[in-house]
């Protein structure tokens, strides 16, 4: 991108979303580092915006706050990987963008730490065999066996990681009702919680599990993701850090 193009965007009186993507491309590249090309990142973002036109009506600070969050986390926006979602929501009279990190996004972030050899989550159905316990030999453990026939309704989720170089693993079990009552947004019917509850259950399990993992430098992006997921994230020109606000209980999330 030429300096002339960036200068033209800077002085434009009513810049468009495309203009802002052009303006911020160098900053996107600094955040992305060598993991992703900023031009490709911007194009993916624009495709996601075109697929959900309501995003164009949202506060630009929250749209680009979400995009800079994705860039800092080094996650692609939209697309088949579904690692990072842009969701329009209305808070009062103002439309904002709600960033929602997908199950695949948390998998990627945990693996990016380099601390774990395996990470995942699986749903537990009412007909499955599942039991938790603890003893001096195994420590905390669970036993699970998938039902062969009709597994019935989902009753919970197990999220787990295996520490690289060791047999040691950590896990967390959350029951379905707790996840629905405590972790899904108020207007969940128009978010991925409605279209793919299973993925959101698994994502929530990993989000809760990360709180139990060692707080090391390698896990900073994971902690940022858990902090900003489903929050109001704003990009303000002249301010280096993103502004993250969690008082979104009165926000109505709207899908297309």
Q: What is the pLDDT of residues 161-218, one digit of tens each?
A: 998 887 778 899 999 999 999 988 777 887 778 888 999 899 999 999 988 887 788 8
What are the two backbone dihedrals, phi and then psi, of residue 152, each rounded to the nearest 5 degrees? Answer: 80, -165
CB atoms within 10 A of CB 57: 11
Q: What integer is the mean pLDDT of 231-240? A: 85
What are the two backbone dihedrals, phi and then psi, of residue 145, each rounded to the nearest 5 degrees? Answer: -145, 125
pLDDT given for residue 12 in this prediction: 64
Tokens, residue 195: 């279209």
Looking at every residue in the chain, the average pLDDT score rounds to 87
Q: What is the pLDDT of residues 13-32, one digit of tens each?
A: 788 999 999 999 999 999 99
CA pair distance 75, 32, nearest whole angstrom: 9
* pTM of structure: 0.82
pLDDT given for residue 256 in this prediction: 41
CA pair distance 97, 251, nearest whole angstrom: 10
Q: How confident is the model at residue 250 (pLDDT cuts 50, 70, 90)?
A: very low
pLDDT given for residue 9 in this prediction: 53
Q: What is the pLDDT of residues 139-159, one digit of tens each?
A: 788 999 999 989 999 999 999
Q: What integer is the mean pLDDT of 247-252? A: 51
What are the two backbone dihedrals, phi and then psi, of residue 128, each rounded to the nearest 5 degrees? Answer: -70, 160
Residue of 93, 71, 95, 44 lying closest to 232 (CA atoms): 95
- Say whether pLDDT at 254 is over 80: no
pLDDT given for residue 185 in this prediction: 78
pLDDT given for residue 135 in this prediction: 83
**Residue 206 three-state SS:** helix
Signed CA dihedral, 243, 109, 215, 173: sign only: positive
DSSP, res 113: T
- Say whether pLDDT at 251 is over 80: no
Q: How confident is the model at residue 247 (pLDDT cuts 50, 70, 90)?
A: low
- Say whether pLDDT at 54 is over 50: yes
**Residue 207 three-state SS:** helix
pLDDT given for residue 4 in this prediction: 44
- Say whether pLDDT at 10 is over 70: no
DSSP, res 138: T
Q: What integer is the mean pLDDT of 33-50? A: 94
Q: What is the pLDDT of residues 80-118, one digit of tens each?
A: 888 999 989 888 899 999 898 989 999 999 999 998 999
Q: What value, to the nearest 5°, has the Cα angle with vertex 189 and ends 187 and 195?
A: 140
Q: How confident is the model at residue 43 (pLDDT cuts 50, 70, 90)?
A: very high
Tokens, residue 190: 């128009």
pLDDT exceeding 90 applies to what percent of the chain?
57
The angle that helices 60-73 and 17-32 make with each other, rounded to 10 degrees, is 30
Name the pairing type of β-strands 232-234 and 94-101: unpaired
Q: What integer is the mean pLDDT of 41-56? A: 95
CA 93 to chain centre: 25
Which residues contact residue 187 at a Cβ distance below 8 angstroms, ignoring those fewer than 6 apart?
Answer: 89, 251, 252, 253, 254
CA pair distance 243, 228, nearest whole angstrom: 9
- Say whether pLDDT at 48 is over 70: yes
């Amino acid at each position: 991108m030429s300096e002339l193009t960036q200068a033209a965007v800077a002085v434009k009186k009513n810049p468009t979303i495309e203009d802002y993507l052009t303006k911020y491309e160098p900053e996107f590249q600094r955040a992305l580092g060598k993991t992703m090309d900023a031009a490709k990142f911007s194009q993916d973002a624009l495709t996601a915006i075109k697929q959900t036109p309501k995003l164009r009506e949202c506060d630009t600070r929250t749209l680009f706050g979400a995009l800079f969050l994705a860039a800092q986390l080094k996650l692609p926006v939209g697309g088949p990987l579904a690692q990072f979602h842009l969701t329009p929501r209305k808070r009062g009279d103002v439309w904002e963008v709600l960033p929602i990190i997908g199950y695949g996004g948390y998998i990627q972030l945990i693996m990016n730490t380099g601390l774990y050899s395996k990470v995942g989550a699986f749903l537990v159905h009412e007909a499955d065999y599942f039991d938790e316990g603890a003893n001096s030999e195994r420590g905390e453990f669970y036993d699970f066996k998938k039902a062969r026939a009709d597994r019935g309704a989902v009753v919970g989720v197990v999220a787990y990681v295996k520490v690289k170089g060791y047999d040691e693993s950590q896990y967390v079990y959350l029951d379905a009702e707790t996840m629905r009552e405590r972790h899904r947004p108020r207007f969940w019917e128009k978010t991925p919680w409605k279209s793919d509850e299973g993925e959101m259950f698994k994502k929530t399990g990993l989000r809760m599990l990360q709180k139990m993992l060692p707080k090391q430098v390698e896990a900073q992006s994971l902690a940022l993701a858990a902090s900003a997921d489903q929050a109001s994230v704003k990009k303000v020109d002249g301010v280096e850090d993103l502004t993250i606000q969690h008082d979104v209980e009165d926000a109505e999330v709207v899908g297309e």
